[in-house]
Amino acid sequence: MCGICGCSSLSPEPRREPLDLSKPDTTLVRLEARVLGKNERFAMENKKRLQAERILTLNLLSSPGAGKTTLLERTLEALLPTRAVFVIEGDQQGELDAERVRRVGCPVVQINTGSGCHLDAQQVSHGLDALPLVPDSLLFIENVGNLVCPALFDLGEARRVVVASTPEGDDKPRKYPHIFRGADVVLLNKCDLLPYIRFDVERFRSMVREQNPRAEVIECVATQASGIAAWLAWLSQQGADLGRQETRSSSHT
């Protein structure tokens, strides 16, 4: 957990002293609660702000190299002609992915986490301040490539998107269950490589269902824009669902 390993934004410098195992476990539990408690407060504020502006916000999660940024590029190319879209990019260092998004013509802000291995809600709050957001738009948050820590931190998003890729192996949902349990949709990328690698799509789907029966699995090849239509249809449905939820909430107030 990031608050303990030292990569949290609350402790930007890596832990240098060895962990004292003689201390009771409650010390670690209290530290986790403090780190996550602060994050939850910022996440709730982000969520209220985004809901008030009717901005559908998606947290993109994956391991490094799964194809998040390429998928995002193809998505932006399809969406930008018809609606406002914004991006927050999370990386430990540099602006390579932000530059790729900028070339597509999308407003983007880069957040560098340094030694941190995930974005947190406070960092995203600063990102929201830096973007020219408008109501009824889309916001993509591309998280740092990592299948562990980003799953623990709510950013205030409406939906979580996990991007897996075939070269990683079909056992990832069982090896990294937490990130799949929180997914609203799983995009299985690089399916064009299936003839050349050992990957059982049905086994992968079965393992996703074990962890999360409600998560849809969409096969795609981001470099070829294959499967993008199904992904865009899913996105459109999420926007419609959120709109109906907000209408029901307003009618009860």
What domain count does the chain have? 1
Q: How far apart are CA 115 and CA 62, in angstroms?
A: 18
How many other CB atoms are there within 10 angstroms of residue 98's CB atom?
22
248-to-244, 245, 252 alpha-carbon distances in Å:
6, 5, 7
Q: What is the pLDDT of residue 249?
A: 53
Does 253 fall in a domain? no
Q: What are phi and psi of 152, to 5 degrees?
A: -85, -15
What percent of the chain lies above the pLDDT cut of 90? 79
Does 27 fall in a domain? no
143 closest CA partner among 214, 92, 202, 96: 92
Where do we find the tokens 């079909």? Answer: 170
pLDDT per position as a tens digit, 177-195: 999 999 999 999 999 999 9
Does 218 fall in a domain? yes
Does 137 fall in a domain? yes
- pLDDT band at residue 34 using 50, 70 and 90 as cut-offs: low
Q: How far apart are CA 46 and CA 156, in angstroms?
A: 5
Q: What is the pLDDT of residue 9?
A: 44
Q: What is the pLDDT of residue 183?
A: 98
CATH number, domain with residue 208? 3.40.50.300
Q: What is the pLDDT of residue 14?
A: 36
Does 248 fall in a domain? no
Q: What are phi and psi of 225, to 5 degrees?
A: 65, 20
Q: What is the pLDDT of residue 13?
A: 36
Q: How far apart are the first and last CA of the chain?
A: 39
Where would I find the H helices in the chain?
2-5, 25-52, 68-79, 96-104, 121-130, 172-175, 177-181, 201-211, 228-251
Over residues 118-130, the mean pLDDT reads 97
47 closest CA partner among 142, 158, 148, 136: 158
Does 20 fall in a domain? no
What the block records as the tokens of 20 is 């004292």
How many other CB atoms are there within 10 angstroms of residue 172's CB atom?
22
Does 164 fall in a domain? yes
Q: What is the pLDDT of residue 37?
A: 85
Q: 35 or 197, which is more confident?
A: 197
Over residues 102-123, the mean pLDDT reads 96
Over residues 70-76, the mean pLDDT reads 98
Domain that holds residue 172: 46-243
CA 42 to chain centre: 16
Does 16 fall in a domain? no
| Residue 251 predicted with pLDDT over 90 | no
